Each structure stands twice: as structure tokens, then as C-alpha cells.
Structure 1
Amino acid sequence: MHGLQIPRCISSIPIAAGSWFVSAVMESQSRVFAEILPVAAREFTANEKHGLEVRAVNSQNPINVNRAREVQVTGTAEICGPADRVSVRVTVANSKESVNEVTNSVTRRLEYILQSVRQHGVIDGDTSVRRFLHREADQYHMEAEVKVTFSDFDKMERVCSVLLEKLDKSVCVGTPHFFHSAESLNQMRRRACVSAVENAQQKACEVSQLLGQTLGPPLQVREEETREWRGEDEEDGGRCRDSAPLPHIPHITASSRVSVSFSLRDRSRKKL
């Protein structure tokens, strides 16, 4: 070894003529690999003074580590839901020769409308009022509009019936407008995403069984696309031609597409 003394903590293994592979185990859980090159090889290694190359490798991060086996799948899902809110506009109007007369007339009916709405459990935050006063020739015309938002469709129908029965032609009840609240849309989006992940997991499980593997934990979940669209109006099958058209409750469909990666474990490998 050309006068080189190998300590007891270092093991030497001959590899080829004139070369030795030296491994020293350090107390810091690192391994030092030293290679002594032959004379012929050292002549062409200008950067090495003594033909000695040392590489330190942490034992917690070995060089040759097999990449974890994984399966990548996509999953899609669609969630359809009806509108959960409805708004109705109720209008009262009158014309008088003086401002006080027309204001008192409209205000009395307006207070009755608001009282009826409160009696059916509608909070003030779901009610808005607008008033408009103008003059036409010798008459003062005043119009008031109440917009009420309901989360209970049956309650909306009862309120409209009461107002039409009590106020008759002095009140105008508009056509109900159905829509989806922000909370409802967010819930549909979450349900679609969760269902898409469940579909992807089922697909990955079947693929792993086909390959004789065991499906491991997920490595990555990514939502690639999310969309919403309004459904087409239902056909009027079975409706009498002479009857008034019923308000249509719209439906919105939320879809989600996800990409999920799962690790794979070999079934035949025995557990230690």
C-alpha cells in the first residue's frame, strides 16, 4: 500500500490490480469512501495530488434509492341541486291630489305588507323597501316596492296568497325568482370534489388489484377543473294549455375533475 497505514476502524477490500476500496464508518452516521488509484491512472488525474478521492454520503440519504412505485389516476363527479332561495317583489301604488294623502295611502298598505312578512318568520335582513314619488299634471303619484327573499318556498306561497286576498287589486305580486345562494353553490362544489376523489380512489384500487399490488396512501391530490352550469328548463308535459305557467325552479350542476397519485405496495413482499 506504498507505506499507507490503514486504521483498525477502516476496512480494505482489493478491487483491481493496484487499486483498493476503503470504507470508514464515522460516528456522525456518515460514510467516507476512499479509492486509491493505480500509478497509471494517477498520471492522468491532474486535480488529485495523491490519487485519493473522498466522497462523504449521509447514511440517511443513500445514493441508490429506488423510486417509490405509484399509480396516477383521474376522477370526475357531477352534483346537481335545485335553487334554495326565492325572491318576490310586491308593489303598491296610488295617486292623490296632495303629497300627504298619497303618502298616507301607500304607507298604510306598505306597513301591512311588512307586517304579514314578519308574521311568517322573515327577518328584516331579507326584506328591502324602495319608494318613488313623482308628479303627473295635478296628481301626485307614489309607488313603493318591497323585495322579500325566502328560503322556504311554501312560506313564500302563503305570503303571496295572503297579500293578494287582503289587498286585492291595490297590490301587485311579481313572479317568484328562484336562485342559488352562495352557500349552496360552495357546498355543491365541495361535494363534487370529494366525490371525484372517491371515484379516483376506487379506480386506483381496481387497477392495483389487477396488477397484484396493494394500494398505499395518497401521495398527491390536485383539482384540475371545476365548472357549473344551469340545467335546461323541463318540458311542460301534462300541463293544461289554459292554465297559467308555473314558475320554474332552476337546477345547477357542479362538476369537478381531480388527479390523484397513490403509492403501490407489492402483495408478495412479506412484512418484517
Structure 2
Amino acid sequence: MASSPSRVFAALLPAAGDIYRDENEPGMGGHTVTVQRTQNSAREVQVTGSAEASCPADRATVSVSFRNSKESVNDVTNSISRRVEYILQTLRQHHVKGEELTVTRHIYRADDLYHMEALVMVVFSDFGQMERVCIVLLEKLDKSVCVSTPHFYHSEECLSLLRRSVCVAAVENARLKASEISSMLGQTLGHPLLVREEEATERDGGRGGEGRVGEGVHRPSINVTSRVFVTFNLRHKDRTRKKI
């Protein structure tokens, strides 16, 4: 996970009424320090921090479709069922779970024949497993079936984990900056008083969502950024020493 440089705003509020400003170029790692007095003479440091990370797709769907035509309903149903059973057996042999696949059938009549179409949709999280399954189906069934190119996507679990980890990284980045600022001002960084995520963005960070089996599959990625605002209290270094 890559953390981008923070724009830091620190506000130190001591009992003294002096005001001191030091401004650098915003967005370039600079900071603004404001020293002033408030009614309760609280000492605080306010920091904004940001972080960014990317993650490749962790799921892919592959569909296997085929059709047949017969003069009777039983004949076309039996023919399609045998093909479906072979595909399901192949998937089981490669440890594909039942909840990871769906089977749909459609039958209709045209030109005095009964036509049936079937579609087996499989969700993969193991892309090596996906590659092996597709190769077996293509070798054994050849042109009698159509194996689609993989369609990659991010599961909600993957996105949720990425969002949380980026936000945590932004907070940690802000804390490190606040610690440096407090040390420079001769203070000790205390507990956080406020943590607020001010902005979170997601954008496509990779190539298209499809790839051909056996031709170097390309997984798309997503970039997530987070910007947080954190307020810490400050303490005099002398007050942190334990009395003997």
C-alpha cells in the first residue's frame, strides 16, 4: 500500500496569546502552524493525512453455453442433460463448489424441431483453477460448447477490506505527521480527539475486465484513496514525566 504525502495543518492552542504562522505550498508536503489562545486554553494539533492503494480483481465469471435440436422434447432434454452433467462432473473434479455455479435451460419449438439452450455460469476466486477447468472443457467438448472469456470483478468483501485499510493508512500517516509537528513544538502527542474521513474516492486503475484463457489473462485493478482529518491533544513534555 502506497501512502501519498500529507498536507498537514497543525493548530497549537497554548495558554499564551502569541500567534505564529509558517505557510508552505499546499499539497506539496508543507504545513501551516497556527499558535493562538482559546477560552479553555486547550492544546491541540489538527492534521490532514491521505493514502492510496490499488487491488486487482479477486473474482471472475466464466459461462459455458451450448444448444441442441431434436424432433422430441425427451430427446433434446436428454441430450442437453448429458452435456450438463458432464460439465458439472468436470467442475466437481476440479473442486468447484455448488454455490459457485448456476445452470439455466431454455427450450422452444421452431421449424418442427425442439430446441434447447443451456448455460452454466461459474464464479472463480482461484484463477489457476479457472484456467485448468476451461482448458479441459475446450479439449474434451471442442466446438460443441462455447466457453466465454473470463469477466473479472471485485467482490464486495475485497472492496470493503481495501477501503478500510486505506483509511487506516491515512490515519496512521496523519498521526506520524502530527507526532513530528508536536515534537518540533516541544510538545508530546496525546490522544486523538477527532477522526473524520473527509474524502474517499475509487477509480479504475487497470486494464479491461476481460481476458482470453491461455493468452495471458489481465486482471483489472481499482485504486482507492482516502483523506482524513484528525485532531490530537498536546501535552507538555514535562507533564509526561512520572513523579517519583
TM-score computed with the length of structure 2 as normaliser: 0.77
Equivalent of residue 70 in structure 2, options 62, 86, 96: 96
The equivalent residue for 2:220 is 250
Equivalent of residue 103 in structure 2, options 117, 129, 132: 129
Q: Structure 2: state its 5+ residue gaps.
A: 1-38, 209-213
Alignment deviations for residues 159-179 of structure 1 (CA, whole Å, 9 cap, x no partner)? 011111111111110010111
Work out the CA distance in 2 between the residues paired with 1:228 and 1:115: 40
Aligned-residue sequence identity (percent) comes to 59
Q: Would you say the 8 A contact 1:175–1:247 is kept in 2?
A: no
Deviation at 1:107, TM superposition (A): 0.8
Q: Would you say the 8 A contact 1:78–1:192 is kept in 2?
A: yes
Residue identity in the other structure for 2:41:
R
Equivalent of residue 70 in structure 1, options 44, 49, 52: 44
The equivalent residue for 2:202 is 228
Q: Would you say the 8 A contact 2:163–2:224 is kept in 1?
A: yes
Q: How does 1:73-88 map to 2 (within 5 A)?
A: 73-88=47-62
Number of corresponding residues: 200
Deviation at 1:245, TM superposition (A): 6.0
The equivalent residue for 1:186 is 160
Q: Would you say the 8 A contact 1:92–1:110 is kept in 2?
A: no
TM-score computed with the length of structure 1 as normaliser: 0.69
Work out the CA distance in 2 between the residues paired with 1:186 and 1:232: 19
Work out the CA distance in 2 between the residues paired with 1:124 and 1:137: 36
**Cα RMSD (Å):** 1.9
Q: How does 1:195-214 map to 2 (within 5 A)?
A: 195-214=169-188
Alignment deviations for residues 175-207 of structure 1 (CA, whole Å, 9 cap, x no partner)? 101111110000001100100000000110111
Work out the CA distance in 1 between the residues paired with 2:67 and 2:216: 26
Deviation at 1:104, TM superposition (A): 1.0
Deviation at 1:246, TM superposition (A): 4.5
Q: Structure 1: state its 5+ residue gaps.
A: 1-64, 235-243
Residue 235 (structure 2) pairs with residue 265 (structure 1): yes
Residue identity in the other structure for 1:178:
F
Residue identity in the other structure for 1:248:
H
